[in-house]
């Protein structure tokens, strides 16, 4: 359990956790599906897409809806719809406040998002008052530090984010942080699985619509007795005493 751990750093997902960009993905994909006479994206598939790298997510959608497209073609079509919507993205409740708190308390934190660099820039360009706090500790889905095919649910992206923090700590003569001393903040099932596989303690903030689809399976995913993580309704509910400050 987290109470038995010393927490020294926090690692964050982005889409659906810090910002409401998951809603944009749903809107844009549904619009593309309409052009092929397909029904809207529903949460039984959505929960499988959250946190996955773009090509992997596109492949699942194509197979599910039997679309006559390649992953690259689907990605291009949804991207075109998203371009006008990214500037409307906002921080989710408690997200900016938590980042500011960590920065004030000098608790190390990093970002690990499956979004590729170009999409990351599009989503966050108008939100730099929050994302600037990550400084250079940002790992995107197309980062060379993540081996090919090792996006979430594999834990590699979390290790890369922590290594970014540790590299800086070494330069300043500070002790390195172990992954078991980290909190991983996630909203999607693949990211939660990746966090658990890494050995970190997971703070899971699932969308309430995802919980309806999971219908109790979330307890099985996160693990019994809060051994591997806890489930919160929002980042506003996060107990900062877990950070020992």
Taking the C-alpha atoms of residue 31 and residue 75, their distance in angstroms, rounded to an integer, is: 13
- Tally of domains within the chain: 2
> Of 66, 86, 106, which one is at a domain's C-terminal end?
86
pLDDT computed for residue 45 by the predictor: 93
Q: Are residues 13 and 132 in the same domain?
A: yes
Note the Cα 211 to chain centre separation in Å: 17
pLDDT along the chain (245 residues), means of 10: 81 97 94 96 90 83 96 92 94 98 98 94 97 98 93 95 98 98 96 96 96 92 89 96 83
Q: Are residues 109 and 229 in the same domain?
A: yes
Q: Are residues 179 and 224 in the same domain?
A: yes
pLDDT computed for residue 177 by the predictor: 98
Q: Are residues 99 and 215 in the same domain?
A: yes
Q: Are residues 135 and 225 in the same domain?
A: yes
Q: Which of 123, 135, 46 is nearest to 92 (CA)?
A: 123
Residue 90 corresponds to which tokens in the numbers above?
């906002």
Q: Are residues 155 and 221 in the same domain?
A: yes
Q: Are residues 52 and 10 in the same domain?
A: no
pTM above 0.75, yes or no: yes
Q: Are residues 92 and 78 in the same domain?
A: no
pLDDT computed for residue 3 by the predictor: 58
Q: Are residues 135 and 145 in the same domain?
A: yes
Domain range enclosing 37: 21-86
Sort 40 into a burial class: Cβ within 10 Å, 0-12 / 13-18 / 19+.
exposed
pLDDT computed for residue 225 by the predictor: 82
Q: Are residues 53 and 159 in the same domain?
A: no
Task: Assign residue 201 the CATH number of its domain.
Answer: 3.40.50.1000
Taking the C-alpha atoms of residue 224 and residue 57, their distance in angstroms, rounded to an integer, is: 29
> Of 60, 86, 112, which one is at a domain's C-terminal end?
86
pLDDT tens-digit readout, 158-203: 999 999 999 999 999 999 999 999 999 999 999 999 999 999 999 9
DSSP code string of 86-153: GGG--BPTTHHHHHHHHHHTT--EEEE-SS-HHHHHHHHTT-HHHHGGGTT-EE-TT-TTSPTT--TT
Q: Are residues 47 and 135 in the same domain?
A: no
Task: Assign residue 59 the CATH number of its domain.
Answer: 1.10.150.240
Taking the C-alpha atoms of residue 138 and residue 133, their distance in angstroms, rounded to an integer, is: 10
> Of 86, 101, 136, which one is at a domain's C-terminal end?
86
Residue numbers annotated as active site: 13, 15
Sign of the dihedral through C-alpha 32, 34, 36, 39: positive
Q: Are residues 215 and 95 in the same domain?
A: yes
């Amino acid at each position: 359990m987290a109470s038995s751990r010393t927490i020294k750093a926090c690692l964050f997902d982005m889409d659906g956790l810090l910002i409401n960009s998951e809603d944009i993905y749903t809107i844009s994909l549904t619009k593309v599906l309409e052009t092929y006479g397909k029904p809207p994206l529903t949460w039984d598939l959505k929960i499988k897409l959250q946190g996955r790298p773009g090509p992997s997510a596109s492949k699942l959608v194509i197979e599910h809806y039997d679309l006559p497209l390649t992953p690259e073609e689907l990605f291009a079509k949804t991207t075109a719809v998203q371009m006008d919507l990214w500037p409307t993205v906002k921080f989710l409740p408690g997200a900016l406040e938590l980042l500011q708190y960590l920065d004030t308390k000098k608790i190390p934190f990093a970002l690990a998002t499956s979004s590729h660099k170009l999409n990351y820039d599009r989503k966050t360009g108008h939100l730099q008052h929050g994302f600037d706090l990550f400084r250079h500790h940002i790992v995107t889905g197309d980062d060379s530090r993540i081996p090919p095919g090792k996006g979430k649910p594999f834990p590699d992206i979390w290790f890369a984010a922590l290594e970014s923090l540790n590299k800086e700590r070494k330069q300043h003569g500070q002790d390195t942080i172990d992954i078991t001393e980290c909190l991983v903040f996630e909203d999607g099932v693949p990211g939660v699985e990746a966090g658990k596989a890494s050995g970190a303690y997971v703070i899971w903030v699932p969308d309430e619509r995802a919980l309806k689809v999971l219908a109790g399976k979330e307890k099985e995913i996160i693990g019994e007795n809060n051994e591997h993580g806890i489930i919160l309704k929002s980042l506003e509910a996060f107990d900062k005493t877990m950070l020992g400050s």
